[in-house]
Structure 1
Amino acid sequence: MTPALHGKVALVTGASRGIGRGIALGLGEQGATVYLTGRTGSGRSGHMPFLAGSLEDTARDLTALGGTAVPLVCDHTDDAQTRGVIERIRHDHGQLDVLVNNVWGGYEGLHIWDERGQAWNAPFWEQPTAVWDDMFGAGVRAHYVTSQLAAPLLIKARGLLVGISFFAAQRHRNTEGIPYFLAKNATDQMALAMANHLRPHGVTSVSLYPGLVRTEGVLLAPEGSFDLSNSESPHFIGRAVAALASDPEVFRRTGQVLVAAELGQEYGFTDIDGKQPTSLRADWAE
């Protein structure tokens, strides 16, 4: 049987590790050609050397699953580098079927536990401005610029645009920093606004929420830091994106905020361990 995404072209930003890596694998599993971007081409990251994962690793595992990987080193805070990636896709294929804006610099302070991580739960006046810069520069702005440059290619394919967000966008809690809340909320609002612009061209734009994901950083946290009983592998989020990209009626969802676990229930896919994670929507509604 031909894989569901055979012949489709995707771009996943921030695919060296974590959720981006999982999304790339989920698309590759269904036969897509996946362009992978990130700052770590091979070896260990110069920014976070204790976290495993590189574009080379993702490309190898994606190819083993039956997809085609095109790894491209790119720092998405540099617009010229982002433009180079889009031009490469334009040259190679002339269109883009799926764009997943996943790149996110907001957790870097937590991983290396510098002043940004130490002030993660502090009142906003005690947080360094770098927390905002990380989340909006290597997050929201990077998503906007990549989408802006890729839009003509998505329009040619009547493609799918996915922004990775989180439940914190919906409800601010006292323990969540204001930049985090606003950055995730901006990602959701950007999906809606872009849906309005892209609707006449048949392009679907959505925001997607993972649950608690077993990324390399989460798994390095001290024992007891997270209750992993209802957690998700990064690959599970990839299966959610692949299910959307394979759905011939996905356009009906444009402008919506979606939850990976709820899509699993609807489309019938499971995590790589066969489990069906439960949506965290109720937890965040409290």
Structure 2
Amino acid sequence: MGSQAEKKLDGKVALVAGATRGAGRAIAVALGAAGATVYATGRTTREKVSEVGRTTETIEETAELVDAAGGHGIAVPADHLDPEQVAAVTARIDREQGRLDVLVNDIWGGEHLIEFGKKMWEIELSRGLRMLELSVRSHIITSHYALPLLVRRPGGLVVEVTDGTAESNKGYRDQFYYDLAKNAPIRMAFNLSHDLKDAGGTAVSVTPGFLRSEQMLDNFGVTEENWRDAVAKEPHFAIAETPALVGRAVAALACDHDRARWNGRSLSSGQLAKEYGFTDVDGSRPDAWGYFSRVFAGEQPDAADYR
């Protein structure tokens, strides 16, 4: 982990919206490892399951992992499509901490809605609009209530988590609603970079590569220990990375006093790993979007050359 193991974020407060599992959980843990107090929000708790339908990951467990990493984790159940609930979360942070230094919009949970291989008009409208609610409306509601607290102090950081970079997403992302869902956070970060300038804030979008999330591992019927067995079914899985890589990417940004140079940019975990010198948990440094840029160009690169 390098310099991020130091407690550079002592006294800092982060809200990771959508911290139940995957990238959000890893980001919360990495911020905690750097010393931050992290509010981990989401819909899945030990008492209640969200529409995603997974019971194996909860926000309480995420908060405990933040504590174990050396930070202070606080689990707060919240549906980020409900303005009253989001307003209550930010009011609680204000009441308990009086500040917010990092906002991470990682809300999603729409994988069960994706139907690739269908035209826009072939997809049930309610499913498509739900994807946009989860990926766009929820982020807007969260920023609306959280940013007034974040801009009280100069230097705040907003991270919009998405899938793909501005460059990689110039091509069609395989499905009408999914394309909109994953391009919107890139544009939101760009727009917020302008709104935050006067407050000395920074807004970026960050994407992991081919993410070995809990849900993805289950989809392939493998575990983190034997994940390479899935490469036979999906050869591109050879470039996959753990959620820790994007977690370390966001923590590196949060620890960087010169992060304003990234303002408005679309960034990837692999790109930031090279920039800041960290690795994935196995010591490799996957550059998934560098790899996929060649795949999209019709080439057949060796994933080993991008690790």
User: Do these two structures clear the TM 0.5 threshold for a shared fold by scoring above it?
Assistant: yes
Matches within 5 A, 1:135-174: 135-158=131-154, 159-167=156-164, 170-173=169-172
Deviation at 1:42? 1.6
Give the equivalent residue in structure 2 for 1:8: 12
Give the equivalent residue in structure 2 for 1:270: 279
1:28 to 29, 32, 37: 32
Q: Distance in 2 between matches of 1:105 and 1:228?
A: 21
Q: Secondary structure at the match of 2:151?
A: helix
Q: Secondary structure at the match of 1:70?
A: strand
Q: Distance in 1 between matches of 2:251 and 2:37?
A: 12
Give the equivalent residue in structure 2 for 1:179: 177
Where has structure 1 moved over 3 Å in runs of 4 or more? Answer: 48-51
1:44–1:52: 8 Å Cα contact kept in structure 2? no
Q: Does residue 53 in structure 1 map to residue 57 in structure 2? A: yes
**Alpha carbons of structure 1 residues 168 and 179: separation in structure 2 relative to 1, 3 Å:** farther
| Number of aligned residue pairs | 277
Give the equivalent residue in structure 1 for 2:224: none
Give the equivalent residue in structure 1 for 2:209: 211
Deviation at 1:74? 0.4
1:131–1:179: 8 Å Cα contact kept in structure 2? no
Q: Distance in 1 between matches of 2:281 and 2:165?
A: 26
**Alpha carbons of structure 1 residues 232 and 51: separation in structure 2 relative to 1, 3 Å:** farther
Q: Secondary structure at the match of 1:156?
A: coil
Deviation at 1:225? 4.1
Q: Distance in 1 between matches of 2:48 and 2:211?
A: 21
Counterpart AA for 2:138: A
**Alpha carbons of structure 1 residues 67 and 282: separation in structure 2 relative to 1, 3 Å:** same
**Alpha carbons of structure 1 residues 52 and 226: separation in structure 2 relative to 1, 3 Å:** farther
Give the equivalent residue in structure 2 for 1:40: 44
Q: Distance in 1 between matches of 2:97 and 2:72?
A: 13
Counterpart AA for 2:181: A
| Identity %, equivalent residues | 39
2:292 to 278, 283, 286: 283
Q: Distance in 2 between matches of 1:231 and 1:82?
A: 33
2:87 to 83, 98, 112: 83
**Alpha carbons of structure 1 residues 22 and 63: separation in structure 2 relative to 1, 3 Å:** same
Counterpart AA for 1:167: G
Q: Distance in 1 between matches of 2:112 and 2:129?
A: 12
Q: Secondary structure at the match of 2:152?
A: helix
Kindly report the root-mean-square deviation, in angstroms, between the aligned alpha carbons of the 2 structures: 1.9
Gap regions ≥5 residues in structure 1 = 110-116
Q: Secondary structure at the match of 2:196?
A: helix
Q: Secondary structure at the match of 1:4?
A: coil
Counterpart AA for 2:66: L
1:12–1:37: 8 Å Cα contact kept in structure 2? yes
Deviation at 1:93? 1.6
Matches within 5 A, 1:174-253: 176-222=174-220, 223=230, 224-225=233-234, 227-253=236-262
Q: Secondary structure at the match of 2:14?
A: strand
1:66 to 61, 67, 70: 70
Q: Does residue 133 in structure 1 map to residue 137 in structure 2? A: no
Gap regions ≥5 residues in structure 2 = 221-229, 298-307
